């Protein structure tokens, strides 16, 4: 198992260190330092008061928690934390449920997953190689 050190900083006394429930979990729980209500159909940014220095070649992905998604219709939006970012890790939650959802200070609101990223060199060409799928999009592979 590859292990890397991720330096982090608490931006307030309320901040909690990201944690795993078990050592085999891919994600580290992120905790909010704020309370608020997300109305049905709305989105809201919650702060964690944690900043990181993710090593070059990696990034942090802020991902939903399955329990919040399944039980309450809560999902996470736009969750890429680049290695060069040093600010507060904010979590944008959206409520797809029919009822308002309350978030309390100290709640686990998302998972933080460290992933390897690849840096590429884009090469402009006049033609692309053929593929079985071709230009089919949006469900084209599910033909009956």
* Beta strand ranges found along the chain (DSSP E): 8-10, 28-31, 36-38, 43-47, 50-52, 58-63, 74-77, 80-81, 90-95, 101-103, 108-116
Residue 125 resides in a domain: no
Residue 89 resides in a domain: yes
- pLDDT at residue 19, rounded to an integer: 97
With contact defined as beta carbons under 8 Å apart, do 47 and 98 qualify?
Answer: no
Which pTM does this prediction carry?
0.87
- pLDDT at residue 51, rounded to an integer: 98
Residue 137 resides in a domain: no
Residue 133 resides in a domain: no
Q: What percent of the chain stands above pLDDT 70? A: 94
- Structural domain of residue 65, as residue ranges? 8-120
- pLDDT at residue 22, rounded to an integer: 94
Q: What is the CATH number of the domain that holds 13?
A: 2.70.40.10
Question: Is the pLDDT at 2 greater than 80, yes or no?
Answer: no
Residue-wise pLDDT for 107-143, tens only, equals 999 999 999 999 999 999 999 999 988 887 776 665 5
Q: Based on the structure, what is the number of domains in the chain?
A: 1
**Of 46, 35, 49, 37, which Cα lies nearest the Cα of 105?**
35
Measured in degrees and rounded to the nearest 5, phi and psi for residue 67 equal: -65, -40
Q: How confident is the model at residue 87 (pLDDT cuts 50, 70, 90)?
A: very high
What ranges in the chain are assigned the alpha helix state H? 66-72
Min mean pLDDT across 1-5, 6-10, 52-56, 140-144 is at: 140-144
Residues 6+ apart with CB under 8 A from 111: 26, 27, 28, 29, 30, 62, 63, 64, 65
């Amino acid at each position: 198992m590859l292990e890397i050190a991720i330096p982090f900083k608490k931006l307030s006394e309320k901040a909690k260190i990201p944690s795993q429930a078990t050592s085999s979990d891919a994600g580290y729980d992120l905790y909010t330092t704020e309370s608020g209500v997300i109305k049905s159909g709305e989105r809201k940014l919650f702060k964690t008061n944690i900043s990181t220095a993710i090593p070059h070649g990696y990034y942090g992905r802020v991902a939903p928690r399955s329990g919040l998604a399944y039980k309450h219709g809560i999902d996470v939006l736009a969750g890429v934390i680049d290695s060069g970012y040093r600010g507060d890790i904010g979590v944008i939650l959206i409520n797809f449920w029919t009822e308002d959802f309350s978030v309390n200070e100290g709640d686990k609101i998302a998972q933080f997953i460290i992933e390897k990223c690849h840096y590429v060199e884009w090469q402009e060409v006049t033609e692309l190689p053929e593929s079985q799928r071709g230009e089919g999009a949006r469900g084209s592979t599910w033909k009956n």
